[in-house]
């Protein structure tokens, strides 16, 4: 019987009992008293069924009691809902067990944290890497157990676009990388992995590049000095030797520039994790850069648009290097009679420094790789302009060290805009 049918049966029974009670009461001369007694008996029956229902709800592991009419329908519906709920719960538990089993088998640490920052679950790798213990640490605040100031700032800032790498000092330095993903209603999944091997390899690469670059400077200086001395007396040379010596001098100068860029890039990478506390006046930096370029590139036009007086927390030399690289690139890849515009402005919560040229532009296929070391859009063009292929790599590393991003927009035949976006 469905709910509507059961309800009609119960209603009919109530009406029928009321009519019979009034009829019998009329014969006895007490119609309302008889009706009241009948309704009271019906109420007692309903109270009895309610008591049975409450008793069953207290222990739903047993079968629901048998009951006639509408009460039987109520028991059946509640039992069906209970079974459906148990099936859904079993499915969810199965999926949760599968997820936790998968995360438990990971070599990387995984921690589930609720909206208040308390630990809900962690795997065995988290115990190995961070000393967490599950389930003993369940409900404890993650930041109280992981005492790393860098991680505290990273977690509270809630800016999880890029992972965080932390060095743990001790007998042997260990490097951990944290990545956080938000899900649900403010819950977070924290992944932590040991990147000590990768960090040491990267440090070895930087040391190798820095050491080799430094060691090459001395012989290169000797070679360049001899070439300059010889070419200073070019009139005494045979004509057939002059051109090769001039080419050697050009390549030596180019190699010297390359070594300077490599050493500067190594220096930026080595101090990347250090905090930048100096307040750099970008407007004054751009004015100084303009004066320098008027001397080194007297035929080029550089326009400044200073729309804000805001400063940036950072390193003056690094920022000067990044902006000068962008401007010099704009000079190299645009006609001498065109203007290069540098604009410093605020947009909402960000500070933007953009360098715009009106040059040949760059095909969109090259944009994702422009900041790679030694990547060249056109080898012949780069050789002609004397570029080392490290300028934009330096810009990218300076931007990362200052929590900024480099955005590149370019249209073939129109020009390019390189923008450094700083947090305001």
Cα–Cα distance between 320 and 387 in angstroms, integer? 18
Q: Which residue has 């709920």 as its token pair?
A: 85
Determine the 3-state secondary structure of 204 from DSSP: helix
Residues whose CB is less than 8 angstroms from the CB of residue 341 and which lie 6 or more positions away in sequence, other chains included: 302, 303, 304, 305, 355, 356
For residue 143, CA distances in Å to 126, 151, 238, 394 come to 14, 8, 76, 35
Scored b (16 or more CB within 10 A) or e, 43-81 reads eeeeeebeebbeebeeeeeeebeebeebbbbbbeeeeee
pLDDT of residue 387: 60
- φ, ψ of residue 250 to 5 degrees: the values are -65, -45
Q: What does the chain come to in residues?
A: 424
How, if at all, do strands 350-356 and 415-423 pair?
Answer: antiparallel
Q: Which residue has 């009829």 as its token pair?
A: 23
Q: Which residue has 């990362």 as its token pair?
A: 400
On whether the CB atoms of residues 367 and 357 are closer than 8 A, the answer is no
pLDDT of residue 273: 52
pLDDT of residue 281: 93
Span between the terminal Cα atoms of the chain, in Å? 68
Strands (DSSP E) along 203-275, which ranges?
none
pLDDT of residue 380: 44
On whether the CB atoms of residues 285 and 325 are closer than 8 A, the answer is no
Cα–Cα distance between 36 and 21 in angstroms, integer? 9
Residue among 176, 178, 196, 192 nearest 109 (CA): 192
Cα–Cα distance between 394 and 390 in angstroms, integer? 6
Cα–Cα distance between 134 and 104 in angstroms, integer? 11
pLDDT of residue 100: 66
Tally Cβ neighbours within 10 Å of residue 251.
13
Strands (DSSP E) along 64-173, which ranges?
109-113, 119-122, 164-168
On whether the CB atoms of residues 358 and 416 are closer than 8 A, the answer is no
Structure tokens at 331: 């000079």
pLDDT of residue 2: 59
pLDDT of residue 386: 53
pLDDT of residue 381: 47
On whether the CB atoms of residues 175 and 158 are closer than 8 A, the answer is no
Residue among 328, 327, 333 nearest 359 (CA): 333
Cα–Cα distance between 321 and 329 in angstroms, integer? 12
On whether the CB atoms of residues 406 and 419 are closer than 8 A, the answer is yes
Segments of the chain with pLDDT less than 70: 1-8, 100, 102-105, 269-277, 377-388
């Amino acid at each position: 019987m469905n709910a509507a049918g059961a309800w009609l049966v119960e209603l009919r029974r109530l009406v029928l009992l009321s009519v019979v009670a009034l009829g019998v009461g009329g014969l006895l001369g007490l119609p309302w008293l008889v009706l009241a007694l009948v309704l009271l008996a019906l109420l007692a029956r309903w109270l009895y069924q309610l008591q049975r229902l409450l008793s069953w709800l207290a222990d739903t592991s047993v079968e629901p009691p048998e009951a006639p009419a509408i009460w039987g329908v109520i028991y059946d519906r509640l039992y069906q809902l209970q079974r459906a709920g148990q099936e859904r719960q079993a499915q969810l538990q199965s999926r949760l067990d599968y997820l936790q089993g998968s995360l438990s088998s990971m070599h990387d640490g995984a921690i589930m944290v609720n909206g208040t920052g308390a630990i809900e679950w962690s795997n065995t790798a988290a115990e190995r890497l961070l000393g967490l213990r599950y389930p003993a640490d369940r409900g404890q605040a993650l930041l109280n157990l992981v005492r790393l100031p860098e991680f505290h700032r990273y977690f509270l800032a809630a800016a999880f676009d890029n992972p965080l790498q932390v060095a743990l000092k001790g007998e042997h330095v260990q490097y951990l990388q944290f990545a956080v993903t938000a899900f649900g209603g403010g819950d977070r999944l924290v992944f932590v992995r040991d990147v000590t091997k990768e960090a040491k390899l990267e440090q070895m690469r930087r040391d190798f590049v820095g050491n080799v670059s430094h060691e090459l400077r001395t012989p290169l200086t000797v070679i360049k000095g001899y070439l300059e001395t010889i070419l200073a007396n070019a009139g005494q040379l045979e004509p057939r030797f002059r051109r090769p010596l001039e080419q050697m001098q050009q390549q030596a100068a180019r190699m010297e520039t390359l070594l300077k860029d490599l050493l500067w890039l190594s220096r930026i990478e080595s101090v990347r994790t250090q905090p930048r506390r100096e307040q750099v006046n970008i407007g004054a930096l751009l004015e100084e850069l303009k004066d320098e370029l008027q001397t080194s590139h007297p035929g080029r036009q550089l326009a400044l648009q200073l729309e804000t007086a805001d400063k940036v927390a950072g390193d003056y030399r690094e920022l000067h290097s990044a902006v000068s690289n962008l401007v010099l690139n704009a000079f190299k890849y645009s006609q001498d009679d065109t203007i290069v515009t540098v604009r410093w402005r605020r947009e909402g919560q960000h500070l933007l420094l953009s360098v715009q040229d009106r040059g040949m532009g760059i095909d969109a296929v090259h944009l994702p790789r422009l900041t790679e070391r030694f990547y060249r859009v056109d080898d012949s063009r780069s050789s002609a302009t004397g570029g080392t292929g490290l300028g934009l790599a330096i810009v990218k590393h300076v931007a990362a060290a200052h929590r900024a991003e480099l955005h590149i927009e370019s249209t073939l035949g129109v020009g390019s805009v390189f923008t450094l976006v700083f947090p305001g």
